[in-house]
Amino acid sequence: MCSTPIEPRALTELETGVVTELLSSGKAGAGDYLAQIPFAQVNATWGVGSPSVDVVVPPGVETASGSTDGIFASAAVTDRDGASIGEVILWVEHGRLSGIEYAWYTDVRPQTLPEPAQIEVL
């Protein structure tokens, strides 16, 4: 992955919806990560035009308890007909949100993250 730094900004409504959906499974620690969303900022994209982003949570915001680094949650992305077109992955590091990845299975890279309604959390 090659990140392209950007001026830090708040998560968009779509990014917030995707993260919230990924955390809806009730997995231990999910509530701690949900509490970080209002403070989280996007500080890089995974290449120009990529919907995947790096996320930073400022020091002073409580970290998730008992969390390991890496993938915290992932879910399938489907099209209108229910066919699998990709997956979204929520990355964490040191008890903090650290990235939102959209891996697509189609030939054309999506310009945005999927709508939360397209995400099937297992």
- List pLDDT tens digits, range 89-105: 999 999 999 999 999 99
**Domain coverage including residue 92:** 4-120
End-to-end CA separation in angstroms for the chain: 26
Cα Rg of the chain (Å, integer): 14
Residues 58 and 98 sit within 8 Å (Cβ to Cβ)? no
Q: How many domains does the chain have?
A: 1
Q: What is the pTM of this model?
A: 0.95
pLDDT value for 67: 72
